[in-house]
A and B are shown apart, each in its own frame.
Chain A
Amino acid sequence: MARTLGAAAGEVGTALGTEPIFIVEVTWGLSGPMETYADKDFDGLPGKILTLAGLDTVQKVNARGSTGSLSMTLDDTDGSIKNILNAQDVHKGAVSVYQTYQALTASDKFLLFSGEISTPIEWSEGQREIKFDVVVKIEDREVGFSPEQGEFDFISEDAVGKAWPLCFGSVVRVPAVKITDAVRGKSLTRYSVLTVSELDQLCDLAAVVSDAENDKNIGDTQLNPITSDENYAILIEALTSSTISLNLFKENLIFANPVQETNLDDFIQVCKDIQTNTRNLLLFAAQAVAAQNIIVNLELTILNLQIQIGLEQAKNPQDIPLISSLQATLAQANSDLTDAENDKNDAELQVLSASAAIAILNTSKSALTLLLTQIDLATIIIDDGDKFPQGTPLTIVINSLKFVGTFAGNTFTITESNVPFYTNVELAIRENDNANEFWIDDVSLILKNQYCWFSTGAGNKLVLVDNQEGARCFFSPLLYKRTGVIEFGFEDRDIYDPILLSPSIGVITETGVVLRNWADVLDAQAAVPDLFNPTYASGRSNIQDNDYTIEIGDDVFLDGDYQDTYIANLIPSTEVKEVMAFRTINGVRELLPIPSRYYDVDLAESIAGQTSTTLRFRRPLSGYDGEEWEEDVFVTLVSSEGPNTADIISYLLTTYSDLSIDAASFASVAAAIDKFPSHFAILDRPDALDVVEDIAWQARCAVFTKQTTAFIKYLAAEETEVLTLTEADVENDTFILTMTETEDLVTKFVAEWTDDYSKELPNKVVLRNNIPKYGKIERTFDFFIYNIEELVIKSSTFWMIRYSNTWKIIKFNSFLTTLELEVFDTVLLSFGNDLIATSDVKGSILDSTYDSVSNQVDYRIFTSVRSGEMDTYPLTWPATAAIDVEYPTENDPFAGGASG
């Protein structure tokens, strides 16, 4: 950016007899006074400048902006500066060095250099002078934001000092920063609720054992065993194996729920007793039937005998022996009948007794079942329990089940288990007529795997939500109601239709992942399952209970302290496209979208003094039982800033530095590079000027500052020259033609970039050129601003051309007539005698050093001519190269091309 000379242009262009005068403005400290000095008393300014040495401005390494410095000595004979030093910390004070001419006034000055006071700063008592260095502003504030210790109560300790992602353009899967951390612990208690199905299995095993014991008892008590030794062994084996099976099953249940051991033993005994009585009932019922058969036969026999005796007495009354024989037989039959009737009565009594016993035992079994399937946990030991509020009643959540109790250290004493997770959940209008679906009003509620109990409306209804998509819940079993009657053969049969759950049904009274003591009341019109009716009906007895388990290490949360907050972007976004996290399914870890109902997005939330893009999760991801989410969240979003690189740089400088923006240069470059958008996130807190220079370099630009204004230049485009330099501008015997430094060559250019921040390794673009000439000289560059490979290749190719070739560089001393030139300025080099090339070529100022004693300016200038050539290389400035020029040119025999 050429120096503006203003009214001094005439003097600058004068070759003879000019008298330059330096003027410096020094702001002594950040808030100190601003004083102006000259190198002699001039136009009311005190002549305090003793020396200005090494006034140089240079391009930084790899053209990443410019830097400069000088060393200044001011006279302090009058002690005025010492007085300032007594009251001010002058470090980092602003210094501007101007030049004017004796023939002009102080107001005609033009800027030569600006910077900040830097060490060494030395005030000499003997010499009564102060010396200090002045350097171009080299650092500024950190980019971004990270909360400090104790700054905000709601930010977790883990988030302190962690930079919030600062996104530009459309970024893919940026790791969001979790800033809150709910109080949580880990269960050290293992516990499982026994289910009815488990108890049914246990009871079946107990019955088998009971039968085996009975068989063995029979074998043991036979006076003349009907069983052989082999059969007896089989009885023993059957008893042994069935007992082992029972005990193993019981031990597993006791391991899951040790406090229920006694009740389990009682339950087993009850089951055995039921089996014994059932066996007895069957046995005596069979005996009663057998006795009844005997009775019937005897009664028939007796009737026949009575008839026969009557006939014989009428026909042969004298045949006394026959009649006596018949009467004796009749007496025996009557006696047998009496015995049979007694046997029958005894058997029937036994049947009644067994039936009564079974009824009593079933009552006991039901009571024990209820007892065994209840959550009877009294205490839970929780690692980090001492972090929870102590001694006050509170509700904790473990695996979606709520417990009320109090903490004393790591011990949580339960006063109530299985508290309803939600109550009075409003239903929403249905969106279809699928009988296994309903809609809820509050989409933030997570009903998946929860039982929903409707105690309102006609009769109680109980369903289990199997799945949920936002407000849409899928449940089982279906609910039916009787809607009419149909003639079925000789009978009338009821007609049942599914119940469609809607707001007219009423609210969901309670929910829970474990069945509560919900009353088993059926709607008068509800379907009762039987041979003909559907197997579904409303009522608890028709639904299976889930297995609820607390394992050691399960997370324990405070109810109501459940939300995790993530920062996706330090600044507002216009859209959040996707939120993802790693999840393990069947042992495979994958990055998967998080259901949007799990979180709320705020594109511009005021938080911690920032306006940021936030995600608030309704519960920690790890709190979704069985879903195996990890808590690192990756967000794809469109930021409110970017993607134009010049605009991004402008935003960074105006937000994180004291510099203002040169609107003209930024507008010009923004238009030139608009088709090369940047999409990236800054995930740490680099120095603002450093990161700006880096971003500019990646975009083939350079940013440099003058006083408090930042300028930008697009390096890929050829510009109109600021000056034409000829032999008249070069001091005799100072012209030197040199080349690119050997150590600056790069023949293998590796560009790392990423299109997805969830990836652990970056993508690479590898470009090679001139390896046969210079050997393999590899360097790796981080192109973090681009997530489009073509743009990485384009920018990398530009820099690879610059770095992999040896360019002609000229050095010479010049005169004050060229003071207009500054670093990065374009010049036309018009030298004869094939000094540089066979024709005029353009170059760019690399360094300029102003010697204030001799009033000469030393330049080092990059030329567009490569070593060994005498013409401009056509792709020195590719953005403005002729459209038919393609890389590699015919003069690039060793170009290795690009690979992704």
Chain B
Amino acid sequence: MTFTGIGLVTLPNPELQNTEGLNVSVNSRQAMDSTRYTTVKSNPDRNFSYNLRIDVQKLFQLQQFVRDNAGRRFNLTDHNDVTREVYFDAIPITFTDDSFASVGSGSRNEFGEVTIQVTGA
């Protein structure tokens, strides 16, 4: 995945739990006399959520990119090579850094997990 805005950061492909929101939802209800009523909710923007496993070096790059692009739209080219104009939903992004702690016989794990939520079309 590549984030291109103020600066550029290339990240590994997301884990399997990534989600992509839908553009349109339909609400349908029925009256006492069986009359049906429907309304539509559409939005060109969709919500995207990616779980990434990155090393410390990428983490620092990502942090810098988030700081530089907070409140801005930037281009995201995903693992399917689709480029979207998006913005960060939640800032700062929470990094789960437990996995950076030393494990086993004291060796240090240089990887961690981060969830990135963006909205865009």
Contact = CB atoms under 8 A, between A and B. Distances in A.
Interface of A: 15-20, 39-41, 47, 77-79, 102, 125-128, 726-732, 735, 813, 815-817, 854-856
Given A730-B32, A732-B32, A127 B37 contact: no
Contact of B44 (A15, A41, A731, A732): A41
A209 to B, nearest CB: 114
Interface string B1-45: 000000000000000000000000001011111111111111111
B89 A77 contact: yes
A15 B36 contact: yes
Given A15-B37, A126-B91, A78 B71 contact: yes
* Contact residues of A: prevailing secondary structure: loop
B92 A126 contact: yes
Contact of A126 (B29, B37, B90): B90
B31 A727 contact: yes
Contacts, number: 84
B39 A20 contact: yes
A728 B32 contact: yes
A125 B72 CA distance: 15
A40 B90 contact: no
Contact of B27 (A41, A735, A854): A854
A816 B29 CA distance: 11
B30 A732 contact: yes
Given A47-B45, A126-B90, A128-B90, A731 B39 contact: no
B27 A727 contact: no
B42 A728 contact: no
A77 B71 contact: yes
Given A17-B40, A126-B90, A731 B29 contact: yes
A127 B90 contact: yes
A313 to B, nearest CB: 172
Contacts of B71: 77-79, 128
Interface centre among B29, B42, B43, B87 (most CB of A within 10 A): B29
Given A77-B87, A126-B90, A128-B90, A15 B29 contact: no
B117 to A, nearest CB: 10
Nearest to A813: B29
A16 B37 contact: yes
Nearest to A125: B91
A811 to B, nearest CB: 14
A815 B36 CA distance: 10
A221 to B, nearest CB: 130
B31 A729 contact: yes
A78 B72 CA distance: 6
Contacts of B90: 126-128
B11 to A, nearest CB: 20
Contacts of B36: 15-16
Closest 6 A/B residue pairs (Cβ): A727-B32, A19-B40, A727-B33, A855-B39, A79-B71, A815-B37
B38 A16 contact: yes
Given A16-B36, A19-B39, A815-B37, 20 more contacts: A15-B36, A15-B37, A17-B39, A19-B40, A41-B45, A78-B72, A126-B90, A126-B91, A127-B89, A728-B35, A729-B31, A730-B32, A731-B31, A732-B30, A815-B29, A816-B39, A854-B27, A854-B29, A855-B39, A856-B29
A47 B87 CA distance: 13
A380 B36 CA distance: 97
Contacts of B72: 78
A699 to B, nearest CB: 38
9 contacts: A15-B37, A20-B39, A47-B45, A102-B40, A127-B89, A726-B33, A815-B29, A817-B37, A856-B29
Contacts of B43: 39-40, 47
A42 to B, nearest CB: 10
Contacts of B70: 79, 128
A302 to B, nearest CB: 156
Contacts of B42: 19, 40, 102
A15 B92 contact: no
Contacts of A727: 31-33
Contacts of A730: 31-32
Contacts of A15: 35-38
Nearest to B34: A732
A18 B26 CA distance: 10
B86 to A, nearest CB: 10
Contacts of B39: 17-20, 816, 855
B91 A128 contact: yes
A599 B90 CA distance: 75
B65 to A, nearest CB: 15
Contact of A731 (B30, B87, B89, B119): B30
A355 B29 CA distance: 131
A18 B45 CA distance: 19
B27 A855 contact: yes
Nearest to A18: B39
A775 B72 CA distance: 67
B41 A19 contact: yes
A17 B88 contact: no
